[in-house]
Structure 1
């Protein structure tokens, strides 16, 4: 019984530092994960803004063209053998 109490005393002496180290590692992991998530959202928003700007440019270019010019420019996408 005394041997068991001595072993338990040694184990509890190491539990607090080990638990604290695990808590620090877990905190760093979750902080990095949330930071990465925020970076990914910002990067996606930037890509969306770039795509919207590019789409507006194409729409403006098409709006400035005449009907024949639009037909010629978009003819490469048709399969009717032109």
Structure 2
């Protein structure tokens, strides 16, 4: 039976979880900053930091996302080759 620490480590290092959390941070920060960004740019609030933190986490998830897309394309190509569908390279 896996330990609680191992489960927490696995969940917290998940690219999908990081993507969801970062997207939520960016979205809620932008909602909070809507008035400030339009009317009073000189006021700095905590939401500014949350926005930057969210953007940073979104950028951190991009390599994992791009790698997953690339591996998915490779897998699809191999599957097409295996069944002889167009798009797979025939040897």
TM-score (norm 1): 0.46
If you compute each CA radius of gyration, which structure gives the higher value, 1 or 2? 1
**Bigger relative contact order, structure 1 or 2, given CA contacts below 8 A and separation 6+?**
2
Higher percent of residues as helix: 1
